[in-house]
Amino acid sequence: MHPSEAAADRPLADRVAIVTGGSSGIGRAACVALARAGASVVAIGRSAPRLEETIEQVRRAGEGGLLSLALDVGREEDMARMAERVLERFGRIDILVASAGILRNRSGPRTATELTLDDWNAIIRTSRTTPPTAPRSSGSWA
């Protein structure tokens, strides 16, 4: 394969992508797609065993660097730890896919009117906090 063809197949080579919610669903699919495009992937999620499943899929999809971190994106101190680990490992952050989200449905699906205020606040904290705390935690984006 000619070098220009290889570059076209891996347009995100030399890029570092963080994916929150990387342990399942859209986040897991984003991790795999980014790896196929050549990016180094940092999969973030709360469940280490589910992150391991993502890591196996990412390994099969790409050749870039790989890191998984089990943490809560709604906690600023966890985001600071994430930024520190990513910058220590890769030296830069180029892409953030903020796909973390939670449902508080321990007893099955519920409508918004059935959620407690604590459940609602946890959902909003997870969904809305990641983008502003991630860059602040890293100092800046590369």
Delimit the domains of the chain by residue range: 3-101+130-138
Share of the chain above pLDDT 90, in %: 51
pLDDT value at residue 110:
65
Per-residue pLDDT at 2: 46
| Average of per-residue pLDDT across 110-114 | 73
What would the CATH number be for the domain defined by 3-101+130-138? 3.40.50.720
Highest mean pLDDT among 9-18, 72-81, 94-103: 9-18
Helical H runs in the chain?
Answer: 3-9, 25-36, 48-61, 76-90, 117-138
Whole-angstrom distance, CA of residue 26 vs CA of residue 90: 24
Q: pTM of the prediction?
A: 0.76
Q: Answer whether residue 87 shows pLDDT above 70.
A: yes
For residue 21, give every residue at least 6 positions away whose Cβ sits within 8 Å of its Cβ, in sequence order, or none: 27, 44, 45, 73, 98, 99, 100, 101
Handedness of CA 25, 26, 29, 35 (dihedral sign): negative
